[in-house]
Amino acid sequence: MLLKYFLDKSLAQASYMVADTDAGEALIIDPARDITPYLEAASQEGVRIAHVAETHIHADFASGARELAEATGARLYLSAEGGTDWQYAYHTGNTRLL
């Protein structure tokens, strides 16, 4: 098991990598727009990014969830919580609303 913390100090935005090192798979939670740190960390740890999740729609920063899921083939998990003004406008392919 691996837990890695990422912090973008300029945006005060935290994200996380949770990985099962035995299975070689990782989940990235609330990725920032620049997906490079996650790709590099996965490579360094020898895991594949298989899942990407957003805990909620973030009005305070630009998410990299879609880009990371597209770059890695990961399944994208999105929150279905919130009012009608806070719903995701896209839901295609490998995306699941929770």
Range of the domain at 9: 2-97
Contacts of 98 (CB under 8 A, 6+ apart): 77, 78, 79, 80
Per-residue confidence (pLDDT) for residue 10, from 0 to 100: 85
Query: How many domains, in total, are found in the chain?
Result: 1
Per-residue confidence (pLDDT) for residue 56, from 0 to 100: 76
pLDDT over threshold 50, residue 86: no
Residue with tokens 């279905």: 80
Question: pLDDT, tens digit, for every residue of 45-78?
Answer: 999 999 999 887 767 668 899 999 999 999 998 8
- Any idea what the CATH number is for the domain that residue 53 is in? 3.60.15.10
